[in-house]
Structure 1
Amino acid sequence: MNSTSPRLLDFFAGSGLVSSGMDEICQTVWANDICQQKGDFFQKNHPETQFLLDSISNLKGQDLPEADISWASFPCQDLSLAGNRGGLTSSRSGLFWEWLRLLDESPKRPRVLAIENVIGLVTSQGGEDYRQLQLSLEERGYRVGPMIINAWHWVPQSRPRLFVVAVAKGIDTSAYESTFPNWLHSTPLQRAFSTLPNTIFWNLPEVKAPRPALSDIIEWNAPVLPQEKTERLLSLVPDNHVREIDNLPANKQYVFPGYRRTRNGKQVLELRFDGLAGCLRTAKGGSSRQFLLIWNKGKWESRLITTREAARLMGAPESYSLSENYNESYNAMGDAVAVPVVQFLAKHLLAPLAKLPLNSDVSSRKAPKFCLQP
């Protein structure tokens, strides 16, 4: 790592995939998480990085190393559509305010901030949670730009996430901005910031690179479930999906991911047919487990996604060290940030912003006028 590379603090670091994505672009100088299992993954895969296992509530800003970028993937449980929707005032997602406290206590604040969370933050409390988040950053002297980026641009997984990048006032970011919303700004996101006149519209290159299909990352020789369990899963496939998988060629291999759902009081296994896995989650319940129905040259097989497949779906390197415990490894991936998305942001926005000079004349530049784009 070049000594001039931007220095990064990785909060709520989990299993370390953010730091993996930062490799070769930024230098993670310090990381923190409260979970022992995730901390073990982090330290096993990033032994050179200082890692502190502790609650963020116990930390003091004056004790943190100086850095150019602060990244926070704070807990999403109170913001997720699958969670309790308690919002930013709830105990878990409310740890965002502890991260802000550390910013306030720091002798020298990072010039760039990056926040990652579920897209439910955009609509939580009618969008008010997002607005309070952005305003809290603006009050601390930052200009703020939100984006929604789906990992499916790089990996065969549907994983849309909200990314908020804020930069200190006095840095000329015009080369990285557009006048109007673009591919990074969904309609719900635009509604959330429509009353915030100082919002930045980050302008990043659209992703053109081809991505692998789910079948490309599958471990075809992985152990499968007993045939009776496969038959049980097949019986849960709804009729309209059964029609999609009827009459497959006997000499081919296909894979169809699916989650069990309750529809109209009946349990079903809903499949995908677009070559993508559904969004990985933590393995806490039956509905969170993603099954694969595999057509293997004339025979149906089934199994859970393997931990190595989960790592590939997150864009983790093949060298990433996993645990022998299935749930530990699956949770480490399901509760992480996709590596290529981090790489994309680090290369095209975070590192360039961190290297820009401060200019006190820039802070008065007027923000572009906003009108909702389709």
Structure 2
Amino acid sequence: MKKDAFTFIDLFAGIGGMRLAFERAGGRCVFSSEWNKFSQQTYEANFGEVPEGDITNINENDIPDHDILAGGFPCQPFSIAGVSKKQSLNRPHGFEDETQGTLFFDIARILKAKRPKAFLLENVKNLQSHDKGKTLKIILKTLRDHLGYDVHYKIMDAKVVVPQHRERIFIVGFSEPTEFSFPEIPDRKLIMHDILESKVDKKYTLTKGVWNALQRHAANSKAKGNGFGYGMTNLDGISRTLSARYYKDGSEVLIPQKNNPVPRRLTPRECARLMGFPESFKIVVSDSQAYRQFGNALVVPLVEEIAKSVVECVQSKKRRITIADYT
């Protein structure tokens, strides 16, 4: 593989945050898949192509060969019921049984068929504790034992590159034992002021009805000892995690206003900045869809740093010596 000439595929592509990161690392995307029609519209506007649809309907053998598989797959529960019974009956089992019916299965079958040199997967932090740790255990077992990849994972917080507390788990794998470590990223110390627009339309100010409802809900929750509360953002600090539900009421990241006691939502462009998307990124959908898309997106500069570390290992072939090398 020539330096700065690697290929990758973009699975569960969303609006292309992973693609931006790997393109910045020097790669060329040869295949993308995303089922949501609105995300497809944003993807096409920015990359000039419509991603293939539902990955579950795509034959893995129809996907082009590639050096790196990348994807932020949804978290789903796995069932391991029946595996011991199949063992007792000497029936075949493995990742096909343990992961069938989940979207991770589609990653596994593509890895098995195409054998890329490396992969980068992303998921919510709670994947580590999901179903008492069983979900992550099956994922790692599948990647390591059934598919033979050297796997590394880490939870990283995007607050070092954007003014947002956003923890995600990243799973990296190599087809050969590899000396890999996740990058140590210097804190850019960005604050919310850095991403705000100078002029904002009044439509982003909450209605008094929504604002009163949020305050009542927060007060009732506090009285009951629950943790719900809207997030009035410190503009000299960082925000809470932006989520796909932001379109509903904006409660997790509210922006105080100087001459108005009622706060406002972020604008879609501010959401794009909060996720590290470039100013040139085109927003072509409604505000509601844009909020969903950025809430589900990856933080581009964080993934870019991880991608560069993965690419460096693949291109320099930092192979780790194992016991097998001496036998």
| TM-score relative to the length of structure 1 | 0.71
Whether 1:351 aligns to 2:314 is no
Going from structure 1 to structure 2, the CA distance change for 1:356 and 1:229 (only over 3 Å counts) comes to same
Using the aligned pairs only, state the percent identity.
Answer: 24
CA distance in 2, matches of 1:68, 1:148: 24
Whether 1:110 aligns to 2:72 is no
8 Å CA contact 1:281, 1:288 repeated in 2: no
1:82-103 CA deviation, whole Å, 9 max, x = no partner? Answer: xxxxx24599992101221122
8 Å CA contact 2:231, 2:254 repeated in 1: no
Instruction: Give 1:152 shift.
Output: 0.6
Task: Write the letter of the residue equivalent to 1:343.
Answer: E
Whether 1:141 aligns to 2:148 is yes
| Aligned-residue RMSD, C-alpha | 3.2
Task: Write the letter of the residue equivalent to 2:193.
Answer: S
1:332-354 CA deviation, whole Å, 9 max, x = no partner? Answer: 1111111011111112x211122
Paired residue secondary structure (1:5): coil
Q: Which residue of 2 aligns with 1:189?
A: none
Q: Which residue of 1 aligns with 2:300?
A: 339
Task: Write the letter of the residue equivalent to 2:297.
Answer: A
Instruction: Give 1:157 shift.
Output: 0.9
Q: Which residue of 1 aligns with 2:47?
A: 46
CA distance in 1, matches of 2:160, 2:318: 33
Q: Which residue of 2 aligns with 1:247?
A: none
Going from structure 1 to structure 2, the CA distance change for 1:235 and 1:165 (only over 3 Å counts) comes to closer
Instruction: Give 1:60 shift.
Output: 1.5
8 Å CA contact 2:14, 2:297 repeated in 1: yes
8 Å CA contact 1:62, 1:105 repeated in 2: yes
CA distance in 1, matches of 2:281, 2:245: 20
1:159 to 163, 166, 171: 166
Stretches of structure 1 that go unaligned for 5 or more consecutive residues are 79-86, 177-201, 240-259, 367-374
Task: Write the letter of the residue equivalent to 1:22.
Answer: F
Going from structure 1 to structure 2, the CA distance change for 1:152 and 1:226 (only over 3 Å counts) comes to closer
CA distance in 2, matches of 1:228, 1:5: 54
1:271-299 CA deviation, whole Å, 9 max, x = no partner? Answer: 34471121111137746654524241x64
Q: Which residue of 1 aligns with 2:89?
A: none
Instruction: Give 1:218 shift.
Output: 1.1
8 Å CA contact 1:59, 1:102 repeated in 2: no
CA distance in 2, matches of 1:318, 1:230: 30
Which runs of structure 1 show a deviation greater than 6 angstroms over 4 or more consecutive aligned residues? Answer: 90-93, 260-263, 358-361
Equivalent positions of 1:1-374 (< 5 A) are: 4-25=4-25, 26-47=27-48, 51-76=50-75, 78=76, 87-89=77-79, 94-106=102-114, 109-139=115-145, 140-169=147-176, 171=177, 173-174=178-179, 176=180, 202-204=181-183, 206-224=184-202, 225=205, 228-229=208-209, 232=212, 235-236=215-216, 264=224, 268-273=229-234, 275-283=237-245, 286=248, 289-296=251-258, 299-347=260-308, 349-357=309-317, 362=322, 364=324
Aligned length: 301
8 Å CA contact 1:146, 1:164 repeated in 2: yes
8 Å CA contact 1:238, 1:269 repeated in 2: yes
Farther-moved stretch of structure 1 (226-235 vs 277-286):
226-235
CA distance in 1, matches of 2:274, 2:60: 35
8 Å CA contact 2:232, 2:256 repeated in 1: no
CA distance in 1, matches of 2:198, 2:262: 11
| TM-score relative to the length of structure 2 | 0.80
Going from structure 1 to structure 2, the CA distance change for 1:168 and 1:235 (only over 3 Å counts) comes to closer
Going from structure 1 to structure 2, the CA distance change for 1:65 and 1:21 (only over 3 Å counts) comes to same
Stretches of structure 2 that go unaligned for 5 or more consecutive residues are 80-97
CA distance in 1, matches of 2:321, 2:210: 66
1:30-84 CA deviation, whole Å, 9 max, x = no partner? Answer: 111111111111111111x6x43321111112111111100121113x4xxxxxx
Instruction: Give 1:270 shift.
Output: 4.2
Instruction: Give 1:147 shift.
Output: 0.8
Going from structure 1 to structure 2, the CA distance change for 1:56 and 1:152 (only over 3 Å counts) comes to same
Going from structure 1 to structure 2, the CA distance change for 1:284 and 1:233 (only over 3 Å counts) comes to closer
1:241-264 CA deviation, whole Å, 9 max, x = no partner? Answer: xxxxxxxxxxxxxxxxxxx97762
Instruction: Give 1:234 shift.
Output: 8.3
Paired residue secondary structure (1:52): coil
Q: Which residue of 1 aligns with 2:82?
A: none
